[in-house]
Every structure is written in structure tokens, then in C-alpha cells.
Amino acid sequence: MIEVASLTKHYGSRTAVSDLTFTVRPGRVTGFLGPNGAGKSTTMRMILGLDRPTRGTATVTGRRCADFADPLREVGALLDAGAIHGGRTARNHLLQLAQSNRLTAARVDEVLGLVGLAAAANHRVKGFSLGMRQRLGIAAALLGDPPVLILDEPVNGLDPEGIHWIRHLLRDLAEEGRTVLVSSHLMSEMALSADHLIVIGKGRLLADMPMAAFVDRY
């Protein structure tokens, strides 16, 4: 479960996130929808403890992410996959993350298989397409087998086959009882993958309802 209360972020005089309150429940895919610049990434970064709220709180499983001793086992995150830097191979990128979190090399190979990168495991990330970087970022998020997943625009750069794959992956993760928060600026994408929808615009909450209710109303 993710709980956000009165979450607010100002950058100088600009308000990126304004008084957001919502809960993300386990066992379903929650879509986080809003146009570019709406404040989705900033909200996710604050939930993950990577950005400091100006006001308000965000907790994952009742605690602040900054307090987790083993963050990768508590919450997996995909943020800005395009920025994953590239000198290392995909396998080494994940091995480094695994080692600093006391996870095994066997688990690295397992997640590489899960995201369809087994054949590219020993290729350097710098040659990867955005779609492959998304898969690698998802592998990193899954590495610690966390109960909570926060994925920022995971579908960007994926081809139709990749988009189909990710929809199934999100569904499976939710059916396993995990909490899954996934952002997109495309309603068409949300309609196909989310059970519940949280919509923001200009940093403010616009809607928080089951997908079926949203589709009925709008």
C-alpha cells in the first residue's frame, strides 16, 4: 500500500505538486494519468524518498522509503529508463545493484529472463534501444521481489509487442497481490492496463476512482 497525504512540492515559485492525497491499494494496477508536466514523476520521486516534499507525507507499507534498510526488497522503481547509463553490460548493471542489496547473481539471471533480456545480458547498455532500457529498468525494479512497484511511463519507447508484454506483466504482478502504480500520459494506455485510475493535472488531484467508473462517467 502507498499512502500520500497533502503532498506538495514547490520548485521556487512553481508548484509541481499541490496538496495530493490518495491511497494506492494492493492487488490491482493503479494508473497514474496526467499530461506531461502534471507532476507524476515528482510525486513518484517523493514517494520513493528521492525528492523532499515541501509539505505533506508519503509512505510505503506504513513507512517512509528513506527508512528502509533493504529498499529493493520493499519497493521496486522504474524512473527515467532512458537515463540508465551505458558503459556496463545489462548483467553487470544488475549485478552491481544486486551486490549492494545482498541479492544473488542467480536472481539477476532470473529477472533478465523475466523481462526478455536473457540474450542481450552481456551486451553493453549503451547500444540498447529505449525499449530495451525500459526492460532493464523493470528488471531492476523486480530484482528484490518487492511487494510494491512504482513505474514511471514504462511503455515509452516499447514496440507493440513490448507494450503487450508489459500489460501482462502488470496484470500478473497485481494478481500476485502486489501494489502497482504505473504512470502514463495516455488514457488509451491506462484503459487497457489499469483497474483503478488516479488523474492529476497541474499538480492537483482531478479523479481517483475505479477504471470502470471513470469510463462510465467520461
User: Which residues, 84 to 123, sit near ligand ADP by CB under 6 A?
Assistant: 84, 97, 100
C-alpha cell at 215: 469510463
Shortest Å distance, C-beta 216 to ligand ADP:
25
Q: Using alpha carbons, select from 116, 176, 172, 111 the residue that is nearest to residue 140.
A: 111
* 162 touching ligand ADP, by CB under 6 A: no
- 3-state helix, strand, coil split of the chain in percent (to 5) is 40, 30, 30
Q: Using alpha carbons, select from 203, 180, 170 the residue that is nearest to residue 36.
A: 203
Among positions 11, 27, 168, 213, the unique one binding ligand ADP when judged by CB under 6 A: 11
**What track of x and - describes contact with ligand ADP for positions 43 through 72 (by CB under 6 A)?**
----------------------------xx
Q: Are 8 and 25 in contact (CB under 8 A)?
A: no
The piece of 10-18, 19-27, 119-127, 168-176 that touches ligand ADP (CB under 6 A) is 10-18
Shortest Å distance, C-beta 111 to ligand ADP:
11
* 77 touching ligand ADP, by CB under 6 A: yes
The DSSP element (H or E) to which 163 belongs, if any, is helix 160-175
Q: Give the Cα separation of 218 and 207 in Å (integer).
A: 11
Residue whose CB is less far from ligand ADP, 76 or 131: 76
Shortest Å distance, C-beta 192 to ligand ADP:
20
